[in-house]
């Protein structure tokens, strides 16, 4: 490791240590995200509501439903013709920034209310299906940056106004069925008064709709006496509570192995600086560190060329006897070395043994042996056709051997 690389590494380590120290000592910024997560301790989480739920509902049983309303309620319906109602009785509760209940579940809670149960929904928005079924409409109106208050209409619950400026929404009910709908609460400032809490009968049950869900979050439950407003609003719910918390329990998390590092601002900054440092390191160390090595060509194998040259020389001179003799010597030498056969006498016994050891056709072996014996018996000079015939016979055997 050269001196330059050591300097890079020391600089990078000092930089990372400095970032970690600065982040560890500086005040943590407040997260004002409206998560409505039941385990979130940030201002607009619902950790306190989750912990104090039994007290807010007069010690009624609180069921936290992590399924959809349809998945939970549908199996509880008794289809017996003599019953035709739900086995569960009580209040469906949903508190979220925006309406999170799917269409199928919305239809199911309408059935649930129709059979004599209550539905309490606090949200800044509502679906068209619910508005059409319950005959109401909602709109949005900005009340300015002045103090915004919320209060209840029922004199039995008191006329006190609660400052909900921080995190308050702009939604309110602008159209309601006045013959069937009861106004339960308002929001506004010195010059405005808007309906934010209503009760609508449906079948044998009732819907309670509220447009300021932030009053149930950590911030307002700890702010002054705002917890009283939350308790008074929830006093309309009774019986067993079925709190819909799907997607509000923090169960949806990233599958990335880096999810924790990227979720922490300090670790995230360190990670990106590390990647940047590695990129700089690679750029500055991409050039060669040694001279270019010349390519040395390997020595050529001239054996084949030499053999071709000698063969051509013999053939051009017309010395066929010499070539035939060498072909016979080559053939017999190969038989002795590879198949361990005696080649002194080339008779029928030799042919059968060679056929058994090689697995070649007997007629091919007989042809080669016949030509060898004929050449040895003849005393006149061989011609080109004799050489070709013998070479073909021998090569045919060897060629078959390669194919097998």
Q: Are residues 164 and 189 in the same domain?
A: yes
> How far apart are the C-alpha atoms of 140 and 126, rounded to whole Å?
12
Q: If pLDDT is split at 50, 70 and 90, which confidence band does 281 have?
A: confident
For residue 374, what are the CA distances in angstroms to 319, 347, 378, 380, 390? 18, 12, 6, 11, 10
Do 53 and 189 have their domain in common? Answer: yes
Same domain for 269 and 351, yes or no, is: no
- For 33, phi and psi rounded to 5 degrees? -65, 140
Quick one: pLDDT band at residue 402, thresholds 50, 70, 90? very low
Question: What is the average pLDDT score of the chain?
Answer: 85
- Record the tokens describing residue 13, joined without a space: 């380590």
pLDDT at position 305, please? 63
239 and 90 together in one domain? yes
What would the mean pLDDT of 48-59 be, rounded to a whole number? 92
According to the model, what pLDDT value does residue 258 have? Answer: 75
Q: What domain range is 10 assigned to? A: 3-27+256-284
What whole-number percentage of the chain has pLDDT above 70?
A: 88
Q: Same structural domain for residues 72 and 51?
A: yes
Which has more confidence, 243 or 362?
A: 243
At residue 21 the predicted structure's pLDDT band, cuts being 50, 70 and 90, is: confident
Q: How far, CA to CA in Å, does 10 sit from each of 3, 7, 14, 55, 97?
A: 11, 5, 6, 57, 48
**pTM value > 0.75:** no
Q: Both 195 and 227 in a single domain?
A: yes
Is 289 inside a domain boundary? no
Q: What ranges make up the beta strands (E) of 77-170?
A: 77-78, 85-86, 90-95, 118-122, 136-140, 149-152, 162-163
Over the stretch 180-206, which tens digit does the pLDDT of each residue have?
A: 999 999 999 989 999 999 999 999 999
Q: Is 204 exposed, middle or buried (0-12, 13-18, 19+ CB in 10 A)?
A: exposed
Number of domains in the chain: 3
26 vs 138, residue with greater confidence: 138
């Amino acid at each position: 490791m050269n001196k330059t690389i050591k300097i890079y590494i020391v600089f990078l380590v000092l930089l990372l240590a400095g970032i970690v120290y600065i982040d560890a000592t500086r005040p943590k910024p407040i997260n004002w995200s409206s998560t409505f997560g039941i385990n979130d301790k940030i201002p607009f989480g619902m950790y306190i509501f989750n912990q104090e739920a039994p007290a807010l509902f007069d010690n009624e049983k609180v069921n936290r439903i992590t399924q959809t309303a349809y998945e939970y309620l549908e199996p509880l319906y008794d289809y017996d013709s003599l019953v035709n109602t739900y086995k569960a009785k009580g209040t469906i509760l949903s508190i979220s920034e925006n309406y999170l209940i799917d269409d199928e579940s919305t239809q199911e809670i309408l059935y649930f209310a129709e059979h004599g149960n209550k539905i309490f929904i606090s949200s800044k928005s509502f679906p068209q299906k619910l508005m059409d079924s319950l005959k109401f409409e909602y709109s949005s109106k900005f009340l300015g940056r002045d103090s915004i208050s919320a209060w209840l209409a029922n004199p039995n619950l008191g006329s006190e106004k609660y400052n909900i400026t921080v995190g308050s929404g702009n939604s309110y009910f602008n159209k309601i069925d006045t013959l069937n709908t009861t106004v339960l609460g308002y929001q506004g400032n010195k010059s405005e008064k808007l309906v934010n809490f209503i009760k609508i009968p449906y079948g044998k049950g009732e819907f309670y709709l509220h447009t300021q869900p932030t009053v149930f979050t950590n911030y307002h439950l700890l702010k002054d006496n705002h917890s009283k407003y939350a308790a008074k609003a929830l006093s309309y719910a009774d019986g067993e509570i079925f709190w819909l918390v799907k997607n509000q329990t923090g169960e949806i998390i990233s599958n990335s192995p880096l999810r924790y590092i990227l979720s922490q601002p300090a670790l995230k900054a360190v990670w990106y600086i590390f990647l940047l440092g590695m990129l700089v390191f690679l750029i500055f160390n991409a050039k060669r560190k040694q001279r270019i090595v010349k390519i040395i060509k390997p020595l050529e194998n001239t054996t084949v060329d030499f053999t071709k040259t000698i063969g051509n020389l013999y053939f051009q001179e017309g010395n066929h006897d010499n070539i035939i003799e060498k072909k016979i010597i080559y053939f017999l030498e190969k038989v002795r070395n590879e198949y361990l056969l005696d080649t002194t006498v080339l008779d029928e016994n030799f042919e059968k043994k060679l056929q058994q050891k090689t697995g070649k056709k007997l007629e091919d072996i007989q042809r080669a042996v016949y030509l060898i014996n004929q050449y040895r018996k003849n005393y006149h000079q061989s011609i080109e056709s004799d050489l070709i015939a013998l070479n073909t016979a021998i090569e045919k055997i060897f060629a078959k051997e390669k194919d097998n």
